[in-house]
Amino acid sequence: MSFLQRIQATIRQHDLLPQPSGAETVLVALSGGADSVALLRSMLQLGYRCDAAHCNFHLRGEESDRDEEFVTKLCHKLGITLHKRDFDTTAYAAERKESIEMAARDLRYGFFRQLLNDKHYTAVAVAHHRDDNAETILLNIMRGTGLQGLTGMPYSNNGIVRPLLDVSRQDITDYLRDLGQDYVTDSTNLTPDVKRNAVRLKLMPLLRQLNPAITDTLLQNAANAREAQQYIASRAYSINKVEQSDGSVAIRKRDIDGQALLFEILHPLGFTPAQINDVWRNLDDQPGAIFRSATHELLRDRENIIVREFQSSRVPESCVSFNAGDDAALLGQGIRTRIVAADSIDEISKDPCVACLDADKVGACLCLRPVKQGDRFVPFGSKGSKLVSRYMIDHKFTAFQKERQLVLTNGTDIVWLVGQRPDDRYRVVKETKNFLLIETFA
């Protein structure tokens, strides 16, 4: 097949774009390099209506401005609408404490997605080709990855499409030569000062000496990995996940029968390959270990792993004073108090989220706070006091539950282990005149 036929076959096989009709427009990411210029010219030759987007990252001085001037003239010559954006990439990277390469990527794709949404483009076409894909697979292997990383670049992802993913860099330059189409060269791509350049300029030539078909080999392995990854992804999606009352999700350890499955569950939540490996190797060790990503935290419990969104701070202590007839919410913590006459209640609730206490014994001030070391109370129905920590152990609290457990005090004593047990010393009796009703609410 010709160059254009191969691109057309890729678009159809992977359903990247609808058939050209003139009614829809594709946004082409245009840097001015050979790959993006070939993408734009081939899309136009295939009959697609195109606009272009160019980013000037101001990282290469006059060369960056040269690239912008080149794409401006090219789009004018081809009758293409060009969207341009200037970025202070160095400042952006310093502000977010990330590499220049990562900062440029964030800015570039942020710009593309903004245009995609604002202008209602059919898709954003980017010019990654099969050699880029092979390099990406090697980079993923070097940094550590699961099956997803071994699959390489996707043909499409959230509006981003890669029509050139089945053609090589040589195919691209041959196509441009035949067209008589010039392009610009990024001089930073010619020095092995970043990992991708080192892979392209040093590692790949060495691998080709050992295996001239190394790119084909890597991409065939990627296809095999993609098939396996899709199977494991379907298993990860269907695995039983039990939502807990605190919003966390529990997954039974016995249902996780391989590290690849665990990776598929945890990696989208920000956990690193090293963390996932640690969780897997120690899955059946002593419970209680907690692992944290930027957005989530994981608890290795007795029978389960429990995952929840990261909660960086504990609930602060808060106090409220109240009078008969008051309704009060304690600083937004979802606790409501109310004093009512004893003869107005027919039945005392047995709901653990509701406490019914002797208002006169409790007093007129309540404080809500997290459990502290050494806290003791007399669980309802008991004769003697008990450490709250021992109560939580006996009732098989997870480390997450222990961390978030609250107590309600009257300044000196715990009157309610919130959502669990009231203190027996403040229980209502026949002589109780006023009930203090306390309840939790969402």
**Both 197 and 61 in a single domain?**
yes
- Among 309, 342, 361, residue at a domain's last position: 309
pLDDT tens digits along 348-392: 888 888 999 999 999 888 888 899 999 999 999 998 999 999 999
Work out the average pLDDT over 317-346: 69
Instruction: Note the pTM of the prediction, 2 decimals.
Output: 0.68
**Both 17 and 86 in a single domain?**
yes
Q: Tell me, yes or no, whether 234 lies in a domain.
A: no
Name the one residue in this structure whose structure tokens are 């203090």.
Answer: 436
The C-alpha atoms of residue 260 and residue 148 are separated, in whole angstroms, by: 10
* Mean pLDDT, the chain, integer: 90
pLDDT tens digits along 173-213: 999 999 999 999 988 887 777 888 999 999 999 999 999 99
**Both 322 and 295 in a single domain?**
no
CATH number of the CATH domain containing 90: 3.40.50.620
Q: Which residue has the higher pLDDT, 337 or 127?
A: 127
- pLDDT band (50, 70, 90) for residue 124: very high
In Å, how far from its chain's centre is CA 276?
15
**Beta carbons of 395 and 319 less than 8 angstroms apart:** no
Q: Tell me, yes or no, whether 199 lies in a domain.
A: yes
Q: Tell me, yes or no, whether 266 lies in a domain.
A: yes
- Among 224, 258, 277, residue at a domain's last position: 224
Query: What local confidence, expressed as pLDDT, does residue 327 receive?
Result: 55
Query: What local confidence, expressed as pLDDT, does residue 442 receive?
Result: 61
**Both 119 and 36 in a single domain?**
yes
**Both 295 and 355 in a single domain?**
no
Tally the domains of the chain.
Answer: 3
- pLDDT band (50, 70, 90) for residue 157: very high
- Among 261, 281, 309, residue at a domain's last position: 309
Q: Tell me, yes or no, whether 230 lies in a domain.
A: no
**Both 170 and 74 in a single domain?**
yes
Using the predicted structure, report yes or no on whether residue 252 has a pLDDT greater than 50.
yes
Query: What local confidence, expressed as pLDDT, does residue 323 receive?
Result: 58
Using the predicted structure, report yes or no on whether residue 47 has a pLDDT greater than 70.
yes
Work out the average pLDDT over 16-38: 94
Q: Tell me, yes or no, whether 233 lies in a domain.
A: no
**What is the sign, positive or negative, of the torsion defined by CA atoms of 57, 58, 59, 60?**
positive
Q: What DSSP designation does 426 have?
A: G
- The tokens describing 353, both together, are 């989220």
Q: Tell me, yes or no, whether 229 lies in a domain.
A: no
Work out the average pLDDT over 156-163: 96
**Both 257 and 123 in a single domain?**
no
Of the candidates 335, 427, 338, the one whose C-alpha atom is nearest the C-alpha of residue 380 is: 427
CATH number of the CATH domain containing 423: 3.50.40.10
- pLDDT band (50, 70, 90) for residue 347: confident
- The tokens describing 402, both together, are 């222990």
Of the candidates 182, 162, 167, the one whose C-alpha atom is nearest the C-alpha of residue 112 is: 162
The C-alpha atoms of residue 340 and residue 138 are separated, in whole angstroms, by: 70
Using the predicted structure, report yes or no on whether residue 441 has a pLDDT greater than 60.
yes
Q: Which domain holds residue 425?
A: 318-440
> In a 10 Å sphere around its CB, with 0-12 CB exposed, 13-18 middle and 19+ buried, how is residue 227 labelled?
exposed
Work out the average pLDDT over 96-112: 93
